[in-house]
Amino acid sequence: MSSPTPSPILISDVQQTVARELRRIAPIIDELGARFNEAGHQLALVGGPVRDAMLGRLQTDLDFTTSAHPDVTEKLLKGWADAIWDMGRDFGTIGCRKGEWQVEITTYRSEAYDPDSRKPEVAYGDSLVGDLGRRDFTVNSMALTVPDRGFEDPFGGIVDLASRVLRTPGRPEDSFSDDPLRMMRAARFAAQLGFDVAPEVVAAMTEMAGRIEIISAERVRDELVKLICAPFPRRGLLLLVETGLASYVLPELPALALERDEHHRHKDVYEHTLIVLEQSIDQEQRLGGPDFISRFAALMHDVGKPKTRRFESGGVVTFHHHDVVGAKITAKRMRALRFSNDEIDAVSKLVELHLRFHGYGEGEWTDSAVRRYVRDAGDQLERLHILTRADCTTRNQRKANRLRAAYDDLEARIERLSEEEELASIRPDLDGTQIMEILGIPPGREVGEAYRFLLELRMDEGPKSAEAAREALLEWWAARP
């Protein structure tokens, strides 16, 4: 089971890692640095890529900060970059591509956050150190000037990186009041990097959690998605819940910590959920890598439980229809977070179907039930397999083995049926034109009814010859009132 712990960071390793990463990006930073310097401007690699070069996780995104204003930056990039685009001139950022490298160059900032507005108000700054002081965390406030390769670290980011801790360059209260999104970013980086958050930062997050409400849903969502797709999502989620931020951005999660009844008659749904998330991550190779839909479905699969919990006589606790109720709650939350309709449909479908398999028992499903399972899951079938398997957190090994074997059996049956029939795209044996021809009717409501009858028949009895389908259709037609 994953609940991975990050490995320690040694400064001697950092040195070697940085040297290796610098050799890799040397052509880019040397050329670009020289271009800016010749024009009388300063340029520095900054933030994410400096941090990631030290952690050996540098990808192909290179962020720079510069004394040049955006129009000058754009001129300096012309003739060098393969493509140039405006990332939002108001924010002072110009983007470009050079070979495999995605480059973003932002003018020095000294930005203040207007508490009445949802957008940071940007003012250009005039120094590198000033720009670094405006950044979110010390590990993101390091820079490498180019082409001379001077290391700027005015807030001790390298020490915090070695001790794996997120700290703000100034007082966390001031930083979060300038931009409350940084509280979400703390949780996101904790999840991505496996770092701890400094106690004074956690305290400020706890104190100021409610301020997150001035941030747009889209910006909150983007941080949440990154957190959930990170290598250590449990860390980020615990932090959101512990600080109270989750009560604003994902209240369904803390609600899962149902106060336990005195006899401990049911499991802690919150802890169960985190384990289901980790067990679904363990199966992600089936999907080719980190998958937000699958992870979020795991996180939301039981959110219908608090609302449906009933204490029956004899000390029994039930959660009837928590799948259907949970799917609705999930869709509502995802709409509030401005997810796309496709994402909302996918996750809420998985939540709704996560219990369906439990009627399977010892494999007594009919072919018809198997077909319906496949049809209802549609393009979420692979994720439904993962979620259903992950949803078994019993410590009773015999029970766990029995469930796994039953699901193996179901998947084998699906595969067998799929070979015989094209399960994924079940259609009736006759199409609309044939129906009209056989029944001698014009287009209209009755054709639709006949089509649905044939589809149900196809589900129940499997494929038929055209002749057999024709007979069944006529029989149904004759028996209609």
Site of interaction with ligand ATP (CB under 6 A): 47-48, 61, 63, 135-136, 140, 179, 181-182
Q: How far is the CB of 88 from ligand ATP (least distance, A)?
A: 13
Nearest alpha carbon to residue 427 among 407, 457, 398? 457
Q: Is the CB of 160 or the CB of 429 nearer to ligand ATP?
A: 160
235 binds, among Mg ion, ligand ATP, none (CB under 5 to 8 A by kind): none
Q: How far apart are CA 425 and CA 230, in angstroms?
A: 34
Measured from the CB atom, the residue of 190 and 344 that comes closer to ligand ATP is 190
Q: Which does 428 bind (CB under 5 to 8 A by kind): Mg ion, ligand ATP, none?
A: none
Comparing CB distances to ligand ATP, the nearer of 180 and 304 is: 180
d(CA 310, CA 147): 67
Residue nearest to Mg ion (CB): 48
Beta strands in 168-322 (DSSP E): 196-197, 310-311, 317-318
Residue number, 150 or 448, with CB nearest to ligand ATP: 150
Beta-carbon count within 10 A of 205 CB: 26
CB of 6 or CB of 378, closer to ligand ATP? 6
From Mg ion, ligand ATP, none, which one binds at residue 140 (CB under 5 to 8 Å depending on kind)?
A: ligand ATP
> Shortest Cβ distance from residue 181 to ligand ATP (Å)?
5
Q: C-beta of 51: minimal distance to ligand ATP in Å?
A: 6
Nearer to Mg ion, 59 or 396 (CB): 59
Residue 61 or 408 with smaller CB distance to ligand ATP? 61
Q: Across 176-271, where does the E strand assignment appear?
A: 196-197
Nearer to ligand ATP among residue 91 and residue 407 (C-beta): 91
Name which of 48 and 95 has its Cβ closer to Mg ion: 48
Helices (H), 164-213: 172-178, 181-193, 199-208
CA distance 390 to 22: 41
- Residue among 98 and 188 whose Cβ is closer to ligand ATP: 188
For 353, the token pair is 């179907």
> Shortest approach of ligand ATP to residue 327 CB, angstroms?
30
By beta-carbon distance, which residue lies closest to ligand ATP?
Answer: 48
Q: Which two tokens stand for residue 83?
A: 């493509």
CA–CA dist 275, 282 (Å, integer)? 10
- What is the three-class DSSP state of 364? coil
Least distance CB 48 / ligand ATP (angstroms): 2
Classify strands 165-166 and 196-197 as parallel, antiparallel or unpaired. parallel
- Cβ at position 160, least distance to Mg ion in Å: 18
Three-state SS at 310: strand
**Three-state helix/strand/coil letters over 412-479:** HHHHHHHHHCCHHHCCCCCCHHHHHHHHCCCCCHHHHHHHHHHHHHHHHHCCCCHHHHHHHHHHHHHH
Q: How far is CA 206 from CA 385, 421, 432, in A?
A: 38, 56, 61
Q: Which does 180 bind (CB under 5 to 8 A by kind): ligand ATP, Mg ion, none?
A: none
Q: How far is the CB of 302 from ligand ATP (least distance, A)?
A: 29
Sign (positive or negative) of CA dihedral 418, 419, 425, 427: negative
CA dist 467 → 19, 428, 447, 474 (Å): 74, 13, 18, 11
CA distances (Å), origin 402, targets 298, 415, 442? 21, 20, 53
Nearest approach, Cβ of 49 to Mg ion (angstroms)? 7
Q: Give the DSSP H or E segment for 286.
A: none
Q: Which does 223 bind (CB under 5 to 8 A by kind): ligand ATP, Mg ion, none?
A: none
CB of 179 to ligand ATP, least distance (A): 5
Smallest distance from the beta carbon of 229 to ligand ATP, in angstroms? Answer: 11
Applying CB under 5 A, which residues contact Mg ion?
A: 48
Q: 393 burial class (0-12, 13-18, 19+ CB within 10 angstroms)?
A: middle
